[in-house]
Each structure stands twice: as structure tokens, then as C-alpha cells.
Amino acid sequence: MKIGDFDLSTEKTFIIAELSANHNGSLEIAKETIKAAARAGADAIKLQTYRADTITLNSSNEEFIIKGTELWDEQNLYELYEKAYTPWEWHQELFDVAQKEGILCFSSPFDKSAVDFLEKLNPPAYKIASFEITDYELIRYTASKGKPMIISTGVATKEEIVDAVAICRREGNEQIILLQCTSAYPAPLEDANLKMIPELAHEFGVVSGFSDHTLGIVAPVVAVSLGAKIIEKHFMLDKSIPSADQAFSLDESEFKAMVDAVRQSEKLLGKVDYTLNEKREHNRRFSRSLYVSESIKKGESFSQENIKSVRPANGLHPKHLENILGKKAVCDLAFATPMKMEYVDEA
């Protein structure tokens, strides 16, 4: 599967910088954030495409007031989204900046009108946000466009994940990526449940990854070690910029440290390979082999005292020791002679 020109079948992880509300209502900050994401090593920048009235209702009823969250407690949903949204008239310019900087740009649509709008920009993929996984019609309509579908599972039941995957497949779209996600902001480490990453891939026959809301960069690195092919992390230009997502976003230096750590972990993971490469073969010269540890006369028996397994590896493999013990030498053998089978009387 490819997202743009990025091939997910390679050993490299697709790293997404999530812009979200971190532009603080400034187009210039948004553009500079994209440039910073490219410098930090992101493969893509992701936007969110909604208006307050496409995501909620302008109501002050109690159920529209956020409760029980660390960051947004007592805020009205409509007012929060009015402040946090990315103006649609910015999108073309942001896509253009990303292209100029050499990274991909795509978005999370929050209703069908956003999908129609984004289609004109020809994004390389679509992201379904955690809280939209229950919007089956949005998933169906988005999947029908034939682009890779990146779906966060943060608040989903297993039945809803089954349904979301089935909806994509009924639309003929097999390009499905499920992201393990904890929809808490910030998310406690003990709630990350990164073991779900290989489980999602196995259970649903899809590519899996991780949308991270924890603090720091440890979780993404562990996620990659568990098979995550996509890492998504909130990104901001400067921690001093007021933002709804400020508390769990990385700045450029932090994001670059995460990217570097992920790339190092990819190297560490390597591949399943039992063959000895040139370096490993070269280093085998310091492994064990059988050597004469005391001078031996012709006709003398080999014993634990005069034959030992030692470094280096110029003699016989130590696995031959049991077959040699008790047999006689066919010639005199000096101390520190590497053993060969031709020195052993097989009679």
C-alpha cells in the first residue's frame, strides 16, 4: 500500500505531524509549522477539515459542555471548535506549502461536505478521527473515493472496528490502516495499550499504527518495535503559542528527536535473517574452536586435559569434541595447535 509515493511495505515508518489547532488562527503560523515539520523529518502534515456547525450544534445545553477533561473542562463544544478549526480557504495554500517542502499533506474530514472539498485538492489519503468512527455514512462516503483510509480506534468497540473495516471493503477499498489510539489528552502511559498494534493488524488483516497523545517520545518508539507502520503525533511550531492541543504537542526539536529515535529503532529491528553477513562472518574468528591445550605425542589419547574449546576459531568446531575424546593422535601435536580431523586416528 502506498500513501502518495510513500510505500508502507518498506521497513520505514510513515510519520505524520498533526497540525490540528496549533496554528492559533494564523495562516502564517500554519505555514511555518509545515516548514518546521519538514525540517524535523515528518513524512506528512495532517490537517482537520471541519467547521463548528459540521461537527456539533450551537447549543449551550448541558450535554454540549465538556466535562471531566484536564484541558477543556467546562468549555462549550461549539465555541471550542469555532476557535480551533482550520479555515477552509487556507487549505490550498497549506497543501502547496507542503508540496514545496517535500512532504505530503492530507486531512481528517468530519462530514461529507469536507470530503467533497478535499477531493478537489487530491489528498493522498484520508484520516477518520477517533470520535468519528461511529459515523458509518462518513466512513462509507470517504472510503468510496478510493484513497487509503487511516482510522483511529480510540473510542471504538470491537464491533465498531469490525463495522468500519467492513464498510471500507464493501466500497471496494482495501487500503485500510487502523491506528491504536487512546483518546485522552494527554494520555497516561498505562492507558496506551500498545500491544493492540500487532493485534489490530492480525485480527483485521490491515496495516496498523499508532496515533499518540502521550507526553514525550517513548511511546512512538515502542510502537514501532511492535509493528506500527504509521506514527501520528501532534506538532506545533512553538510551545509558547496558545493552542487547545498545546499540552500534548511536540515542538520542532522534540519532534526531530522522535523521528531520529524512530529511524534508529527501524535499524535496530532489522529483519529475520539467519545467514551470516560479512561482518558477522569476520567476527566469528573470535568464537570458540578446539585447540591442543597440552603437547600430545603420536599415539596418545585425546582427553579433556589436552584438548579444549577456546578462542579463536581456527580449529575444529567444538561440537566434534565428544567424537574426538578417547581416540588417538596420528602425529605429534604441539601446544596451541588448532585441531583438525586429520590428526585423529579413526581406526
Q: What tens digit of pLDDT does each residue of 34-52 get? A: 999 999 999 999 999 999 9
Alpha helices in the chain (DSSP H): 27-40, 52-55, 77-84, 91-101, 112-119, 136-143, 158-170, 196-204, 218-225, 252-269, 278-283, 321-324
> Is residue 197 domain-shared with residue 310, that is, in the same domain?
no
Q: What tens digit of pLDDT does each residue of 207-245 get? A: 999 999 999 999 999 999 999 999 999 999 998 887 777
According to the model, what pLDDT value does residue 125 have? 98
> Is residue 218 domain-shared with residue 303, that is, in the same domain?
no
DSSP 3-state of 99:
helix
According to the model, what pLDDT value does residue 73 have? 66
Say if residues 50 and 77 touch (Cβ distance below 8 Å). Answer: no
> Is residue 189 domain-shared with residue 332, that is, in the same domain?
no
Distance separating alpha carbons of residues 284 and 331, to the nearest angstrom = 28
According to the model, what pLDDT value does residue 68 have? 64
According to the model, what pLDDT value does residue 70 have? 61
DSSP 153-175: -TT--HHHHHHHHHHHHHTT---
According to the model, what pLDDT value does residue 179 have? 98
Alpha helices in 17-132 (DSSP H): 27-40, 52-55, 77-84, 91-101, 112-119
Locus of grid cell 492530507: 106
> Is residue 262 domain-shared with residue 195, that is, in the same domain?
yes
In a domain, 43, yes or no: yes
In a domain, 199, yes or no: yes
Say if residues 224 and 14 touch (Cβ distance below 8 Å). Answer: no
Task: For 286, list phi and psi in degrees, rounded to 5.
Answer: -100, 5
Say if residues 19 and 45 touch (Cβ distance below 8 Å). Answer: yes
> Is residue 151 domain-shared with residue 40, that is, in the same domain?
yes
According to the model, what pLDDT value does residue 112 have? 98
Task: Give me the residues of the chain with pLDDT under 70, please.
Answer: 68-73
Look at the chain and count its residues.
347
> Is residue 145 domain-shared with residue 16, that is, in the same domain?
yes
> Is residue 146 domain-shared with residue 232, that is, in the same domain?
yes
> Is residue 40 domain-shared with residue 102, that is, in the same domain?
yes
> Is residue 44 domain-shared with residue 98, that is, in the same domain?
yes
How many domains are contained in the chain? 2
According to the model, what pLDDT value does residue 320 have? 97
CATH classification of the domain holding 142: 3.20.20.70
Distance separating alpha carbons of residues 18 and 23, to the nearest angstrom = 11
Q: If 0-12 CB within 10 Å is exposed, 13-18 middle and 19+ buried, where does residue 92 land?
A: exposed
Domain coverage including residue 223: 2-50+85-269
According to the model, what pLDDT value does residue 151 have? 98
> Is residue 204 domain-shared with residue 303, that is, in the same domain?
no
> Is residue 200 domain-shared with residue 341, that is, in the same domain?
no
According to the model, what pLDDT value does residue 281 have? 86
Q: Which of 238, 190, 229, 237 is nearest to 211 (CA)?
A: 229
**Confidence (pTM):** 0.87
Which of 269, 290, 308 delimits the end of a domain?
269
